[in-house]
């Protein structure tokens, strides 16, 4: 290499030449850096958008479920009074119907008093008994039974009770008690009407009277029954 060529090579790597080359490449590097920064920024923005969208969707779904739950509770609360009202109306209608039926049955029983048949049915409910029999009867029915010879047998003890409605009686024999009073028969008739009408048990306010009870029976000699 000649001196001249050596000088030219040295000139290529002189500080001024390097500065010039650096300045010449600076715009391209800055553009590349700016583009990379923009890509990173867009990625971060998209990431933040996706995160915000997911959070907003979850919050919106939770709010919607809460609103639906509140509406459902409101509808249930609105419907409950109507259900209660239906039950109250049904109970009132049932009570009115039973009052009418009670009056009709009572009138029919009073119109066709047949104490002889009532006594026969009460004794039949007991079956064959040889123990003493106590009867509680209205005084007029008691007199009629004596006139007909229905209670003249020594096994019968008759207690006259003005509180017992005509056409009815109560009977006790040993541990068995038969309630064939007019009120008991009315309740039995109403019980049959309830069963035929399919009235729910929870709407029945009046218990049906049992015809025969195997338990401690009341004192038939007392007016307190």
Whole-model pTM: value is 0.48
pLDDT tens digits, 51-67: 665 666 566 667 666 76
pLDDT of 192 reads 77
pLDDT of residue 208: 42
Q: Is residue 92 pLDDT above 80, yes or no?
A: no
Nearest Cα to 220, choosing from 109, 152, 126, 132?
132
Position 56 in a domain = yes
Residue numbers of the domain that contains 149: 114-214
Structure tokens at 133: 């029999």
Task: Name the domain count of the chain.
Answer: 2
What distance separates the 2 farthest-apart alpha carbons in the chain? 172
**Contact indicator for 176, 131 with CB cutoff of 8 Å:** no
Q: Are 157 and 135 contacting, i.e. CB atoms less than 8 angstroms apart?
A: yes
**From CA 7, how far away is CA 13, in angstroms rounded?**
10
Indicate the residue among 95, 112, 129 that finishes a domain.
112
Instruction: Kindly state the average pLDDT of the residues 109-131.
Output: 80
User: Residue 5 domain-assigned?
Assistant: no
Q: What mean pLDDT do residues 161-188 have? A: 89
Strand partners, 212: 178
Tell me: do 107 and 126 sit in the same domain: no
* Predicted confidence band of residue 198 (pLDDT cuts 50, 70, 90): low
- Of 127, 137, 224, the C-alpha closest to 146 is 137
* Closest among 159, 175, 141, 173 to 225, alpha carbons compared: 159
Which residue would you say has higher pLDDT here, 198 or 134?
Answer: 134
């Amino acid at each position: 290499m000649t001196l001249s060529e050596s000088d030219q090579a040295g000139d290529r790597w002189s500080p001024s030449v390097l500065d010039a080359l650096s300045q010449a490449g600076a715009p391209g590097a800055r553009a590349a850096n700016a583009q990379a920064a923009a890509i990173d920024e867009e990625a971060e923005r998209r990431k933040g958008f996706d995160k915000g969208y997911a959070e907003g969707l979850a919050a919106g779904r939770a709010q919607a479920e809460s609103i639906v739950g509140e509406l459902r509770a409101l509808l249930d609360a609105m419907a409950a009074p109507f259900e209660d009202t239906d039950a109250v109306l049904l109970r009132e209608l049932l009570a009115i119907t039973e009052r009418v039926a009670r009056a009709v049955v009572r009138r029919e029983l009073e119109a066709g008093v047949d104490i002889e048949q009532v006594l026969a049915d009460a004794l039949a409910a007991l079956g064959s008994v040889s123990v003493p029999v106590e009867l509680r009867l209205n005084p007029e029915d008691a007199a009629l039974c004596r006139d007909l010879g229905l209670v003249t047998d020594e096994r019968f003890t008759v207690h006259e009770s003005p509180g017992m409605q005509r056409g009815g009686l109560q009977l006790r024999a040993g541990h068995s008690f038969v309630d064939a009073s007019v009120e008991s028969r009315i309740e039995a008739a109403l019980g049959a009407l309830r069963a035929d009408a399919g009235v729910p048990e929870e709407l029945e306010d009046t218990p049906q009277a049992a015809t025969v009870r195997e338990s401690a029976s009341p004192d038939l000699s007392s007016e307190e029954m």
